[in-house]
Amino acid sequence: MLAVKTRIGKSKIHGIGLFACNPIRKGTAVWNFTPGLDLAVSQQMIARMNVELREFFHHYGYLSAKSGRYVLHADNARFINHSTNANLQSVPSMGEEEEIDVAARDIPAGEELTADYWQFDLDAPLKLESKPREAPPLPQAA
């Protein structure tokens, strides 16, 4: 769940983005996984979903490098776009199910919040291809 005040708006990076309403100091926790609000879904459960729902999870969620589950934000954090020069950084936090996002530097009010998908999303190679994304293939039975 987002821990700072934000707004969504037109992004210069990709479609819709998430923007800081107030300045955010370096090291401030910006997002953390909140059980009961944010979703964490196994890859097996995703495989059982219809194609439209799988595509929604793959587009708006991420495949967590920490837990191996698909994480879907309950709030507008799903509009955080990718940047190789991201102003957010994913870091481990004691007792948290997932990594948290903190400000990697001071972020002025009005700046778009960005994350480097390569830090936390095992689906980053698929999301960052230049061609339109399709739902990844279903996992193979063990």
% of the chain beyond a pLDDT of 70: 91
From its phi and psi, is residue 55 left (phi > 0), alpha (psi between -120 and 50) or beta?
A: alpha
* Domain extent at residue 117: 6-124
Q: What is the pTM of this model?
A: 0.85
* Residue 48 buriedness (CB in 10 A; 0-12 / 13-18 / 19+): exposed
Instruction: Say if 132 falls within a structural domain.
Output: no
CA dihedral defined by 99, 118, 17, 35, rounded to 10 degrees? -20
Give the CATH number, domain containing residue 110.
Answer: 2.170.270.10
Residue recorded with tokens 């890859």: 43
% of the chain beyond a pLDDT of 90: 80
Instruction: Say if 77 falls within a structural domain.
Output: yes
Q: Count of domains in the chain?
A: 1
Give the pLDDT of residue 14. 86
Taking the CA of residue 37 as centre, how many other CA atoms within 13 Å lie in the half-sphere pointing to its CB? 11
Query: Does position 132 have pLDDT exceeding 50, yes or no?
Result: no
Residue 127: count other Cβ atoms within 10 Å of its Cβ.
15
Instruction: Say if 81 falls within a structural domain.
Output: yes
Q: Convert the pLDDT of each residue in 30-65 to its tens digit.
A: 999 999 999 999 999 999 999 999 999 988 999 999
Backbone angles phi, psi at 44, to 5 degrees: -65, -40
